[in-house]
């Protein structure tokens, strides 16, 4: 048991019945929240309280609760995944807050991420971008080649790995003042473009993924760098510069 005293908090939570209906901020009080509980556990406590009061619980996305699935979203006190760096909402703990605090909890805001209900948004635009090119075609004819048979420079393998740690949570879009998806798309473009297996389809990949990104209604990148700061996986702006190079070179040299 923690020696800390429980926290009494005022929560301002976005409630929205469905995509078609208008939403609004609602105010709730929660009391005696353990500073050791995670933010999602605090939300669970709020929901149990709402159920007991005969009200509808707040809908929010979550799955693994260990910072790897990318499901938990929430814009907390004006930042994606709340205060703290390199964490998702499930890794945010209530010790980051003080007794008596008011906490704003909102869904990701982007035209391309419509609200499904309350704090849940539809991030399938990311799936459609991935389907447009976020893969390597492996046309096997019986034998699969050993992955280690192709020599890859260590620093390139490291950069590709770093890009591949993107969990597609959408914090970059939520944090960007333009709701741009450049950090996500550039991470996905980079993880393939840096490796020999991905270079075969590199030109079509970047063109197709950027085309779908634009069609989905994400904004344009203005290099504020907010995405990089708020990204739970520390995806670097280097990837956006690489995607810019890949795209411009594909436009000139591609089919």
- Contact footprint for another protein (CB under 8 A): 12, 14, 25, 75, 77-79, 83, 104, 106, 109-112, 175, 177-180, 182, 210-211, 213-214, 217-226, 229-230, 237-238, 240-245, 247-248, 251, 254
Cβ proximity to another protein, 198 vs 219, nearer residue: 219
Cβ proximity to another protein, 22 vs 52, nearer residue: 22
CB of 5 to another protein, least distance (A): 26
Cβ proximity to another protein, 6 vs 225, nearer residue: 225
Cβ proximity to another protein, 58 vs 221, nearer residue: 221
What distance in Å separates the CA atoms of residue 103 and residue 28, rounded to the nearest whole number? 10
CB of 120 to another protein, least distance (A): 15
Which helix (H) or strand (E) element contains residue 31?
strand 24-33
How many residues does this entry show for the chain?
A: 255
Who's near 140: CB < 8 A, 6+ residues apart?
none
Q: Are 125 and 134 in contact (CB under 8 A)?
A: no
Place of tokens 């075609």: 137
Place of tokens 């590709």: 160
CB of 14 to another protein, least distance (A): 8
Cβ proximity to another protein, 69 vs 229, nearer residue: 229
Cβ proximity to another protein, 20 vs 148, nearer residue: 20
- Six-digit token pair at 73? 């979203």
CB of 174 to another protein, least distance (A): 9
What distance in Å separates the CA atoms of residue 12 and residue 26, rounded to the nearest whole number? 5
CB of 90 to another protein, least distance (A): 20
- Six-digit token pair at 143? 């034998």
Q: Are 73 and 107 in contact (CB under 8 A)?
A: yes
The residues that bridge with 102 in the sheet, in sequence order, are 10
Cβ proximity to another protein, 34 vs 185, nearer residue: 185
CB of 241 to another protein, least distance (A): 4
Angle at 101 between CA 99 and CA 107, to 5 degrees: 135
CB of 141 to another protein, least distance (A): 34
Which helix (H) or strand (E) element contains residue 173?
helix 171-175
The residues that bridge with 219 in the sheet, in sequence order, are 180
Q: Are 14 and 106 in contact (CB under 8 A)?
A: yes
């Amino acid at each position: 048991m923690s020696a800390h005293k429980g926290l009494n908090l005022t929560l301002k939570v976005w409630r929205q019945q469905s995509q078609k209906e208008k939403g609004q901020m609602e105010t709730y009080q929660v009391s005696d929240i353990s500073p050791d509980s995670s933010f999602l556990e605090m939300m669970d406590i709020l929901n149990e309280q709402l159920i007991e009061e005969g009200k509808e619980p707040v809908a929010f996305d979550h799955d693994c609760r260990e910072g790897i699935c990318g499901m938990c979203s929430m814009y907390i006190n004006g930042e994606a995944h709340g205060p703290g760096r390199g964490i998702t909402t499930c890794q945010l703990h209530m010790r980051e807050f003080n007794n008596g605090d008011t906490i704003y909890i909102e869904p990701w805001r982007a035209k391309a991420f419509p609200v499904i209900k309350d704090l849940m948004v539809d991030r399938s635009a990311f799936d459609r971008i991935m389907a447009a090119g976020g893969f390597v075609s492996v046309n096997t004819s019986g034998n699969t080649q050993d992955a280690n048979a192709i020599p890859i420079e260590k620093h390139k393998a490291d950069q590709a790995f770093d890009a591949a740690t993107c969990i597609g949570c959408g914090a970059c879009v939520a944090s960007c003042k333009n709701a741009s998806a450049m950090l996500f798309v550039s991470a996905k473009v980079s993880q393939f473009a840096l490796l020999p297996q991905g270079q075969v389809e590199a030109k079509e990949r970047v063109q197709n993924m950027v085309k779908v990104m634009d069609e989905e209604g994400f904004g344009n990148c203005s290099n504020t760098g907010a995405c990089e700061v708020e990204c739970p996986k520390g995806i670097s702006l280097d990837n956006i510069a690489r995607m810019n190079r890949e795209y411009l070179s594909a436009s000139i040299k591609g089919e």
